[in-house]
Structure 1
Amino acid sequence: MNEHPATPAPTTATPHVVVIGGGYAGVMAANRLTTREDLTVTLVNPRPSFVHRVRLHQLVGGTDPAVIAYADVLAERVRLVVDSATRIDAPGRGVELAGGGTLSYDYLVYAAGSGTADPEVPGAAAHAYPIGTLEDAERLRPALDAVPATAPVLVVGAGPTGIETAAELAEAGRPVTLVCGGALGPYLHRRGRRSVAGRLAALGVTVADGPGAKVAEVRADGVTLADGRALPGALTVWTVGFGVPDLAARSGLATDALGRLLTDETLTSVDDDRVIAAGDSAAPSGVPLRMGCQSAMPMGARAADTVLSRLAGERPAPLHQHFAAQCLSLGRGAGVFQFANRSDEAVWFHIGGALGAKLKETVCAFVPEHLAKEGRKPGSYRLHTGSGGPARAKSLRAAATTAPAPARKG
C-alpha cells in the first residue's frame, strides 16, 4: 500500500478540521488538534452527550448512566455540532449534514465508530435486543424492566459485552443463560477463562457453549440452537456481530468488506490524503485493530498527529500500537484483568476476583480522565508513541499470508 508523502499546508488563513464521530477516537483527535492555536476544529456527532460505551452493560443493569457531558471531556475550543453526517464530498472537501448545509474542511478525521451488525439469524431482528449503541441499551432497559424478575433471560455472545451483560443481570438477581456459540471468552487464556466461568457459575449463570451452541433461530419465547436444543427466554439480548456506518462507502471512499475506511499506516485514506481515519471505522493497511477504547484513543491521537504533520508540511509517523491487557467486569463484585503481549495474545497471568473488579473500574474511570486531560493540555497524551511497531509488523506479516479483504467504493 502506498504511503502518502508530506502535504503542503492549506492556503487558508485558519485551517479547519472536521471530526466525524464523538466517541473515544473522535474526542481524542479533536482535543489533540487544539495543540495548534491557529486551527479551527469542529466535532460532528448525532448525540449531545459523550457515550462511555464500555459501561453500556451497566446502563442496562441500572448501575451507571453510561453518558458524560461533553463539557467534561471536550476541549473548550472544539465546536460541537449535534447532527449526523450523510455524505462526504472528498473532492469538494465538504461534509453534508442531515440537518441541512455542508461543513467545509481542510482535513477530515473519520471516526464514525461501530455498532452491532444487523443479525442474519432468523428471528433475531424481530425478537432480540442488541446492546451495541446507547440507543440500543436505552431500548433494552425498559424491555427488561417489563419482564418478571424470575423470568429467564438469554444473552447471546461470548465476547466481552456478552459476558459482562450476563454477569451484570445475574448479579441483579435475574436467571440468565449465556449462549456462547462456541467457546466462552475465546480471546482469554485458559486460566482467565476458568476464572470467568467460575464467577458466572457463582452468580447462577448457565453457560451454553461448545460447537452446537450456535443460535439457529430466535423466537419470542427463546432460541433454538444448531444442535436442536430449545432454550426458553422471556427476553433475548444480542451481543453478536460487528458493523460500522456505511458513510465512507456511500461517499465513494475505498473500504474493506465491512465498510471500514481503508488507510495506510499513517491512518490516511488510500484515496485522499486530506481524509484521516481512527477507531473502529478504520482499517489501516486492511488490518483493523481490535475494537475498544484501548485502540480508539491512541488511534485518535495518531490521526490528529498525522493532520498536524501534514499542516506543518512534514511526513507523518506510522501507526505504533500495542496491547497490554483486556479487562472484564463480572458484576460489581468481581472482574478479570487478562494480561496480553504486545501482539494482543493473552498470556497466562491474570488478576481476578475483587481486585480484578477494582482494576476494571480504575480503567473505566481513567478513560474519560485521559480525554479530559488532553482537552486541558493538548499534546500531553503519549500512549500512542510507544514501541508498538514490532507487534503491528507481525499483524501485517500475518495478513500478507492470507487473501486481503476486498476493497470497495460506494
Structure 2
Amino acid sequence: MNENTDVVVVGGGYAGVMAANRLTQRGDVTVTLVNPRPDFVHRIRLHQLVGGTDTAVVGYREVLAEGVRLVVDSVTRIDSAGRAVELAGGGTVGYDYLVYAVGSGSADPSVPGAAEFAYPIGTFEEAGRLRPVLDAASATAAVTVVGAGPTGIETAAELSGAGRAVTLVCGGELGPYLHPRGRRSVARRLARLGVTVLDGPGTKVTAVTRDAVRLADGRTLSSEVTIWTVGFGVPDLAVRSGLSTDALGRLLTDETLTSVDDVRIIAAGDSAAPSGLPLRMSCQAAMPMGARAADTVLARIAGERPETLNQSFAAQCISLGRADGIFQFANRADVAVWFNIDGRLGAKLKETVCTGVVKHLADEAGKPGAYRLHRLSGGATRQRLLQAAQAGQAEAPVAVAAP
C-alpha cells in the first residue's frame, strides 16, 4: 500500500490553483491550499473592478478540484526544518512537499507622498479601497494614473470609458513592452477615448500630494484621485522564513523550480526566481509554472527526475475599455514583434484570454493532468541566458575572507 504524501500549496492565484489541481491526479497525495481569501481573485480583471465593470472574483468551487482542501488563512512562516507552515489564525499545517505560490502585489513607492496620497491597485483589497473613492469623487474630478504598463493603460482606458477625465503619466515610454507599431496604435486609441497621455523622461513623478502630482520637468498636475500602478513587489514570506531569495524577495530555485535551499519546497508564479532569471510577472507565465511545479513534486514522489522549465510566450494583450484593445504578438522568448491585432477584434481576443484562463483552471480541476501548455518549447533563448549568467559567475572574482 502506498504511503500518503501531504502537499501544501501556499497561495491560491493562477499558479497555486493550477498546481493544486494538477497534484490531485494521484490518489495517494493529499493537497491543501492555503489562501487568505475565500474566493479566487481574477487579477487580470482588477482594472475592471476599479472601473465598476466586473467583480474580479470567481468562486473557488468553479476553478478548484473537489479533492483540494481549502484553508482560508495566511501563512506567517515556513518552518522548513519541521516541514510545517505557521498560520496567522493559529496552528500549523504539516507537509511533505510545499508549493510556494504567493504571487505579487504593489511595490512600496519611494516617491515622496505616494504612499500617503496615491492608491495602488495591485491587489484585490487595494482595488476595492479605490472603488468607493472614485464613487465619491465628482464626475469632473481630475484622475491621474501613474505608470504606463498594462495595468496603467487598462485602468486609464477603463475610467475614461466611464466618463472620467483621466491623465496617464508614463514616467518614460508608453507601453514599454510593446512593439513601436503597437505602441502607436495604443496611443491613438487612448487619445480617441479622451485620455491625456504624458510620456517622455520629464514625466517621471517626483512627488504626490493630496490634490496634485509633480513631474520631473517641473510641471504640477491637479489630481483629485491619483492611482499608482508603478512596479510590483512580492510578499516577504520567503525572507521571513530564512529561505534564499533574489533582491526583490522572490524565492530562488533551480530550473525544476525547486528551492536552492530545500528539495521539498517548489515555487511557481510571480514569487519564483528560477536560476535568478525570473519570468515576466503574468498569468501567461504563472499557470505553466504552476503545472511545472506540480510535475516536479509528482516526479519526486515517483522517484523520477523532474523536467526543467521550458517556458514559451506568445503575446501580451491589453484592454482599452470594453470595446477596444490590442493583442501584441511576441516571439517565444517574450519579445514583442511587429504584428498585432487591435480594435474590436483586439478587445474580443483580450476577453477570450480572460475567460480562457478560468477555463484552463476549471478544466484542470475536472481532469487533472490535462493541461499541456507548459510543455510547449520556449526555444533556446533562456538556455543562452543561463549559459551567459553561469559564465559571468565563473569569471567574477572570488571573495576571500580577511584573515
| Residue in 1 that maps onto 2:278 | 288
| Residue in 1 that maps onto 2:328 | 338
Q: Please report how far the alpha carbon of residue 392 of structure 1 lies from its aligned counterpart in structure 2 after TM superposition.
A: 2.1
- Residues 169-318 of structure 1 correspond to what in structure 2 (within 5 A)? 169-318=159-308
Residues 236 and 400 (structure 1), Cα distance of their counterparts in 2 relative to 1, 3 Å cut: farther
Residues 400 and 347 (structure 1), Cα distance of their counterparts in 2 relative to 1, 3 Å cut: farther
| Residue in 2 that maps onto 1:5 | none
- SS of residue paired to 1:26: helix
- Deviating beyond 2 angstroms after TM superposition, the runs of 4 or more aligned structure 1 residues are 394-404
Q: Please report how far the alpha carbon of residue 389 of structure 1 lies from its aligned counterpart in structure 2 after TM superposition.
A: 4.6
- Cα root mean square deviation, aligned: 1.3
**What are the Cα deviations for residues 350-381 of structure 1, in whole angstroms up to 9, with x where unaligned?**
00000000000000000010000000000000
Checking the alignment, whether the CA contact within 8 Å between 1:167 and 1:203 is kept in structure 2 is yes
1:394 aligns with 2:392: no
- Residues 36-115 of structure 1 correspond to what in structure 2 (within 5 A)? 36-115=26-105
1:321 aligns with 2:314: no
| Residue in 2 that maps onto 1:119 | 109
**What are the Cα deviations for residues 126-170 of structure 1, in whole angstroms up to 9, with x where unaligned?**
000000000000000001111101111000001000000000000
Q: Please report how far the alpha carbon of residue 402 of structure 1 lies from its aligned counterpart in structure 2 after TM superposition.
A: 6.6
5+ residue gaps, structure 1? 1-10, 405-410
Structure-1-length-normalised TM-score: 0.94
Match of 1:367 among 357, 362, 368: 357
Residues 212 and 383 (structure 1), Cα distance of their counterparts in 2 relative to 1, 3 Å cut: same
| Residue in 2 that maps onto 1:6 | none
| Residue in 2 that maps onto 1:3 | none
Structure-2-length-normalised TM-score: 0.96
| Residue in 2 that maps onto 1:4 | none
Rounded to whole Å, the distance in 2 between the matches of 1:389 and 1:44 is 34
- SS of residue paired to 1:135: helix
Rounded to whole Å, the distance in 2 between the matches of 1:400 and 1:222 is 47
Checking the alignment, whether the CA contact within 8 Å between 1:328 and 1:336 is kept in structure 2 is yes
Checking the alignment, whether the CA contact within 8 Å between 2:332 and 2:379 is kept in structure 1 is no
Checking the alignment, whether the CA contact within 8 Å between 2:101 and 2:269 is kept in structure 1 is yes
Alignment-mate amino acid for residue 307 of structure 1: V
Alignment-mate amino acid for residue 324 of structure 2: A
Q: Which structure is higher in RCO with an 8 Å CA cutoff and minimum separation 6? A: 1
- SS of residue paired to 1:92: coil
Checking the alignment, whether the CA contact within 8 Å between 2:2 and 2:28 is kept in structure 1 is no
- Count of residues paired in the alignment: 394
1:348 aligns with 2:338: yes
| Residue in 2 that maps onto 1:20 | 10
Rounded to whole Å, the distance in 1 between the matches of 2:388 and 2:166 is 38
Checking the alignment, whether the CA contact within 8 Å between 1:116 and 1:242 is kept in structure 2 is yes
Per mean C-alpha deviation after superposition, the further-off stretch among 173-182 and 384-393 is 384-393
Q: Please report how far the alpha carbon of residue 403 of structure 1 lies from its aligned counterpart in structure 2 after TM superposition.
A: 7.5
Q: Please report how far the alpha carbon of residue 13 of structure 1 lies from its aligned counterpart in structure 2 after TM superposition.
A: 2.2
Rounded to whole Å, the distance in 2 between the matches of 1:397 and 1:150 is 55
Rounded to whole Å, the distance in 2 between the matches of 1:43 and 1:174 is 40
Checking the alignment, whether the CA contact within 8 Å between 1:168 and 1:332 is kept in structure 2 is yes
Match of 1:132 among 122, 138, 156: 122
What percent of counterpart residues are identical? 74
Q: Please report how far the alpha carbon of residue 324 of structure 1 lies from its aligned counterpart in structure 2 after TM superposition.
A: 0.7
